[in-house]
Amino acid sequence: MRLRLLVPLACALQLPASFRASVVKIDITPDTPQYLRGYQERKSEGIHDRIYHRIAGMDDGKTQFFLVSSDLCVASPSFYDEMAIELEKAGVPRGRMWWALTHTHSAPEVWPPGLSLVIMPERYRHAPDLAYTARVKQSLISGVLEARAKLAPARLGVGWGFSMANMNRRARDVEGPVRLGLNPEGPVDRSIGMIRIEKADGSPLALIANYAMHGTALGGRNLLISGDAQGIVAEYVESKLHAPMLYINGAAGNIAPLYGGAADFKSGITQFRVLLGDKIVEASRRIAALTDEVSFQTGSNVIETPRKAGLGWVEPLKDFLRIPAGGPALIRVPVSYLRINGDTLLWAAPLELFCEIALQVRSQSPYPFTFFFGYSNGVLGYLPAKSEFPGQGYEINVTPFTDQAESDFTQGVVAHIRGMAR
């Protein structure tokens, strides 16, 4: 008598596990006046709109990944490392949580400020509010763990959108160096990278919108807590789709909002609901091919490039600098990658990257959907294009990098992306 071995159909066919996802939104609006990050040293005098951590959890059956968008300006990579270590102790492997900052210049600073202590020490003559920093940290960690606990069957789709809400900000004249302003003829990236996540019943669960734009629509005169244009747009889209939207900034190092400097919230900032918000809503609705058959591949590398001559450093960032014998000090830039199925590649770095560098990487990527997440996992400063160094200007004055950085960075990123495709 022959025994028959009964094998479950899913195992026999090795069907992919169903995709699961979740979303969590946590209010991190301060209860007390705070020193605002960005521009000169200044302290808040009230609240215009509330600021948040927005967290999307995703699970392909083998790999869990958590993306956090926070309405903050910049933070030290060492601060991200602290959170990553605590999450690893709680069962979230290192590198499976990315922390993207919207780069609003109207949100509180978090401590330590990283390289800003070296480049702009005049901003930090005050004592830090360590209690608020602790709140940011603990709420993010608890939010990621909550997202992990809430994972449920879902579907995912990817697409592109387009908006003319931004412009190159490297203004030029016949005399003098480049200055901050508007340059309609300069490089700009107006594409919107879109990821739509739906519940199993087809209702929206979360939206991820990747768009390059400095969070400076309000300008340095504003003293009210705000998510700036990014926060205004996210809240507007959420009111339309009835689901949280994670605003993920892109290569915005030389990209400004189309309107800027309005401190009254009426002279331009609300127009971003139409200029960008409506375009995100339209692009979301065009994503029709959603699937629960999702697979992830994660990766990372460290790209080394020379530090600017004469620049100091800070002890909390010692792991981000290498001083070889007989050569210049090298800044170590960590880059993270996430491949989604066979057509989508997300890559993230702790940089204010110039847009032409991200566009060059996209043009050489084998993935039709290649999205760059800037201001991610901390910030190590501006990384400008080599062609911009002769013109000088603000970003060149404060960058910790040399004009060799574009070549080193682009080659390292493209090589890794192509390696993931093999």
Neighbours of 326 (CB within 10 A): 4
Q: Looking at the structure, tell me whether residues 384 and 261 fall in a common domain.
A: no
Structure tokens at 412: 């390292």
Which pairs from 277-280 meet CB under 8 Å and 24+ separation?
277/232, 277/233, 277/236, 277/237, 277/240, 279/161, 279/162, 279/163, 279/165, 279/192, 280/161, 280/163, 280/192, 280/194, 280/207, 280/209, 280/211, 280/233, 280/237, 280/245
Query: Is residue 185 packed enough to be buried (19+ CB in 10 Å), middle (13-18) or exposed (0-12)?
Result: exposed
Q: Is residue 6 part of a domain?
A: no
The C-alpha atoms of residue 164 and residue 374 are separated, in whole angstroms, by 19
Q: Is residue 5 part of a domain?
A: no
The residue-averaged pLDDT of 371-382 equals 98
Range of the domain at 319: 296-421
Beta-bridged to residue 55, according to DSSP, are 24, 68
Q: Is residue 400 part of a domain?
A: yes
User: Could you give phi then psi for residue 79, rounded to 5 degrees?
Assistant: -70, -40
More confident residue, 146 or 5: 146
Q: Is there a contact between 237 and 204 (Cβ–Cβ < 8 Å)? A: no
Q: Is residue 267 part of a domain?
A: yes
The residue-averaged pLDDT of 47-55 equals 97
Residues 6+ apart with CB under 8 A from 345: 337, 338, 339, 365, 367, 369, 370, 371, 417, 420
Q: Which of 286, 306, 329 is the C-terminal boundary of a domain?
A: 286
pTM of the model: 0.94
Q: Looking at the structure, tell me whether residues 282 and 350 fall in a common domain.
A: no
Number of domains, the chain? 2
Q: Using the structure block, give the residue that is written with the tokens 């080659």.
A: 411
The C-alpha atoms of residue 248 and residue 373 are separated, in whole angstroms, by 6
Q: Is residue 3 part of a domain?
A: no
Q: Residue 260 — pLDDT band, cuts 50, 70, 90? A: confident
Q: Looking at the structure, tell me whether residues 146 and 257 fall in a common domain.
A: yes
Q: Looking at the structure, tell me whether residues 212 and 155 fall in a common domain.
A: yes
In the prediction, which pLDDT does 142 show?
Answer: 98
pLDDT in tens, 53-88: 999 999 999 999 999 999 999 999 999 999 999 999
In the prediction, which pLDDT does 17 show?
Answer: 54
Structure tokens at 220: 């340095």
Structure tokens at 139: 């709420």
Q: Looking at the structure, tell me whether residues 145 and 252 fall in a common domain.
A: yes
Q: Looking at the structure, tell me whether residues 184 and 68 fall in a common domain.
A: yes
In the prediction, which pLDDT does 8 show?
Answer: 37
Q: Looking at the structure, tell me whether residues 78 and 120 fall in a common domain.
A: yes
The residue-averaged pLDDT of 196-218 equals 97
Residue 152, H or E segment: strand 152-162
Q: Which of 286, 305, 333 is the C-terminal boundary of a domain?
A: 286
Q: Looking at the structure, tell me whether residues 139 and 236 fall in a common domain.
A: yes
Q: Looking at the structure, tell me whether residues 256 and 354 fall in a common domain.
A: no
* CA proximity to 60, closest of 372, 421, 341, 348: 341
Average pLDDT of every residue of the chain: 94
Q: Is residue 291 part of a domain?
A: no
Q: Which of 237, 261, 286 is the C-terminal boundary of a domain?
A: 286
Q: Looking at the structure, tell me whether residues 277 and 322 fall in a common domain.
A: no
The C-alpha atoms of residue 303 and residue 405 are separated, in whole angstroms, by 9
Q: Looking at the structure, tell me whether residues 21 and 93 fall in a common domain.
A: yes
Q: Is residue 334 part of a domain?
A: yes
pLDDT in tens, 326-345: 889 999 999 999 999 999 99
Q: Looking at the structure, tell me whether residues 138 and 245 fall in a common domain.
A: yes
Q: Is residue 10 part of a domain?
A: no
